[in-house]
Amino acid sequence: MTPGIEHFLIVGALLFCIGLAVALSKRNAIGVLMGVELMLNAVNITLLTFSRFSVSERPITGQTFAVFVITVAAAEAAVALALAVSVYRNRETVDVDQMDLLKS
């Protein structure tokens, strides 16, 4: 069966939902971050699918957007992991259930 636009979109949707489940359910802050990265990758697949398949005057725009998504993902990963290391240094844990300092 030749893969068409729907097949790529379904793969993107599946990957996004796995990433969402990981990001929402993991106890370790680094695990949550891995879920976010999976979701960003799924979005990139979807963007490139539309860039490749849809009728458009400027199909390159999808790839351009994907470049920016990768850039922002790199910045986000660096800051989020620095935050996780910083929290670990102060509280000896990266468990998101125990990061409740702002809770009254």
Smallest distance, Å, CB 1 to another protein? 6
Q: x/- contact string, 27-66, with another protein (CB under 8 A)? A: xx-xx-xxx-xx--x--xx--xx-xxxxx--xxxx-xx-x
Q: Based on the shown chain and the rule CB under 8 A, indicate whether residue 99 belongs to the binding site for another protein.
A: no
Say how far apart CA 52 and CA 60 lie, in whole Å: 9
Closer residue to another protein in complex, CB, 3/102: 3
Nearest partner of 38 among 21, 50, 58, judged by Cα: 21
Q: Based on the shown chain and the rule CB under 8 A, indicate whether residue 92 belongs to the binding site for another protein.
A: yes
User: Please, which residues have CB within 8 angstroms of residue 17's CB and are 6 or more apart in sequence?
Assistant: none
Closer residue to another protein in complex, CB, 58/102: 58
Structure tokens at 104: 């009254």
Nearest partner of 81 among 37, 30, 44, 22, judged by Cα: 30
Closer residue to another protein in complex, CB, 1/102: 1
Give the interface size with another protein as a residue count (CB under 8 A). Answer: 76
Q: Based on the shown chain and the rule CB under 8 A, indicate whether residue 94 belongs to the binding site for another protein.
A: yes
Size of the chain in residues = 104
Smallest distance, Å, CB 60 to another protein? 5
Say how far apart CA 8 and CA 31 lie, in whole Å: 26
